[in-house]
Every structure is written in C-alpha cells, then in structure tokens.
C-alpha cells in the first residue's frame, strides 16, 4: 500500500494531505508539528512539503534562482530568497537582518521572517536524522502549479479571487471530491483555502515523484553545510 503526502504550512501547524495510491483515498488533517509525520498510520513513503530545506551560509540558493527563472514575472516574486543559515538563531526581525547582513550583505525579507519558525522546525527535524531527507522533500506551490499547468505559471496571485479560480481549475478535475471533503472536514479558522490548494499542488507533485515524472531543480543539487540537499521537486 503506497501512501504519499503533500504538506503546506498553516496558522495552526501543517495542513497535510495523504493519498493511498492503491485505493485513491485522500485524507486531510492538520498536524501540530512536522515531527507528527512520524505518527501517521500508515506512514507516507514520500512527503512533499512547502518549506525551504537546505540553506546556504551566504548567497542565494540555485533552486530559488531556477524556480524564479521558470515562473518569470510576476509570479517569480512568489519565490522569495531563502534565509541564510546564520539567521536561524535570530530572536527578532532586526536581529535576523543584522545576521543576514553580516553573513552576505542581505537583510532578511519580511516573507522569510514570517515563516522562519517553520524553517527552523523542519531544519531541526531533518538534521536530527539526515536519512529523513530521502523521505521529506521540498516543493514550492507556484512551481508545482507551473509544472501542473504544462510549464506555464499562474497568471494571478493565489490570494486573489481570480487566483483561487485559476488554481481550482487544476485541482477540481483531479481532486474535486477530496477538495470539497477537506473544506468540510478541516477545522475552520485553522487554515486558509490557499493553504489547501497549495497542499494539493504538493500532493500532485508527490504522485508525480513516485511515478518518476518529476523534475529536480537543480538537476544535481548541492548540499549545505549541515548535509541537507538544496533542491526543489516539481
């Protein structure tokens, strides 16, 4: 029984979609922590998660640069620079900017600061056992939707009404029943609908990965100073 998972961060943790590739059954849950993946029964054999994995000590990641080049403007801006590793110890946004400037002359973006706790959480989880990165891989929803849409980026922002319709046009034909069921079953107020759509893009990529139809950005991923690969799966 092969199980795959697509995960996106949400206000109350991690919105996790699992799919049994034998029966087609999809289950939607909100995990309180990324480590709760280890308690899923049955455990997914492949997990795609929307969070930067593997960080440079200075300078941009190749996977971020490649992702932006594929998406092109205006969607390229959705792939903001991943924080450099020294910023993970920051205690405030000002402190993070100070550490970033010291490391490579760049302040941390507000977008990166907003998800820094989740980056730290996943980084700590994977560094506790480097073999976990064979199981948990990084995706970016806009890059997933780009691949899903025949290598064409979404035209509209995901939080806009037009952006929701545009992404649902991909999700509903394949996952319509599961999408509606997730909307009905997940706790209200604990996630945004854009989180759910992003999780479905990660799930689609997990299925594509198992089928061997995926793309890795870059083709030969570098490894960071802690032994984590710096890549995106699409």
Residue among 231, 228, 230, 233 at smallest CA distance from 207: 233
Contact (CB, 8 A) for 65 and 50: no
Range of the domain at 133: 1-82+127-234
5 in a domain, yes or no? yes
Q: What is the pLDDT of residue 158?
A: 94
> Residue 75 — φ and ψ, nearest 5°?
-70, -20
Flag whether pLDDT at 21 surpasses 80. yes
Convert the pLDDT of each residue in 184-197 to its tens digit.
Answer: 999 999 999 999 99
156 in a domain, yes or no? yes
Flag whether pLDDT at 135 surpasses 70. yes
Cα–Cα distance for residue pair 90/106, rounded to 1 Å:
14
Convert the pLDDT of each residue in 24-66 to its tens digit.
Answer: 999 999 999 999 999 999 899 999 999 999 999 999 999 999 9
**DSSP state letters, 92-131:** SHHHHHHHHHHHHS-PPPHHHHHHHHHHHHHHHHHHT-GG
Contact (CB, 8 A) for 200 and 17: yes
Q: What is the pLDDT of residue 99?
A: 92
CATH code of the domain in which 199 resides:
3.30.420
The helix or strand, by DSSP H or E, that contains position 9, with its residue range, turns out to be strand 3-10
217 in a domain, yes or no? yes
Confidence at 168, pLDDT banded by 50, 70, 90? very high
Give the residue-averaged pLDDT of 1-28. 95
203 in a domain, yes or no? yes
107 in a domain, yes or no? no
Q: What is the pLDDT of residue 183?
A: 97
pTM, to two decimals: 0.96
Convert the pLDDT of each residue in 66-117 to its tens digit.
Answer: 999 999 989 999 998 999 999 999 999 999 999 999 998 989 999 899 999 9
233 in a domain, yes or no? yes
Flag whether pLDDT at 18 surpasses 80. yes
Q: What is the pLDDT of residue 1?
A: 57
Convert the pLDDT of each residue in 107-118 to its tens digit.
Answer: 999 989 999 999
Cα–Cα distance for residue pair 140/127, rounded to 1 Å:
21
Cα–Cα distance for residue pair 154/146, rounded to 1 Å:
7
110 in a domain, yes or no? no
Convert the pLDDT of each residue in 207-229 to its tens digit.
Answer: 999 999 999 999 999 999 999 99
What's CA 213's distance to the chain center, in Å? Answer: 18
Tokens of 196: 């759910």
Q: What is the pLDDT of residue 152?
A: 96
Report the domain count for the chain: 1
139 in a domain, yes or no? yes
Q: What is the pLDDT of residue 173?
A: 97
């Amino acid at each position: 029984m092969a199980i795959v998972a697509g995960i996106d961060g949400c206000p109350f943790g991690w919105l996790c979609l699992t799919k049994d590739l034998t029966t087609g059954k999809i289950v939607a849950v909100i995990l309180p922590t990324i480590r709760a993946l280890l308690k899923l029964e049955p455990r997914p054999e492949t997990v795609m998660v929307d969070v930067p994995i593997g960080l440079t000590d200075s300078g941009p990641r190749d996977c971020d640069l490649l992702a932006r080049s594929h998406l092109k403007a205006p969607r390229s801006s959705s792939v903001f620079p991943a924080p450099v590793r020294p910023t993970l110890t920051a205690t405030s946004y000002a402190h993070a900017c100070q550490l970033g400037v010291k490391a490579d002359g760049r302040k941390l973006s507000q977008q990166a600061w907003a998800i820094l706790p989740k980056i730290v959480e996943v980084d700590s989880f994977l560094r506790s056992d480097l073999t976990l990165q064979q199981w948990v891989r990084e995706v970016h929803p806009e890059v997933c939707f780009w691949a899903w849409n025949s290598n064409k980026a979404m035209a509209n922002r995901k939080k806009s009404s037009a952006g929701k319709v545009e992404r649902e046009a991909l999700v509903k034909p394949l996952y319509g029943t599961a999408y509606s069921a997730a909307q009905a079953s997940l706790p209200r107020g604990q996630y945004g609908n854009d989180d759910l759509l992003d999780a479905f893009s990660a799930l689609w990529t997990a299925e594509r990965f198992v089928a061997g139809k995926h793309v890795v950005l870059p083709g030969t991923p570098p490894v960071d100073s802690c032994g984590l690969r710096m890549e995106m799966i699409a």
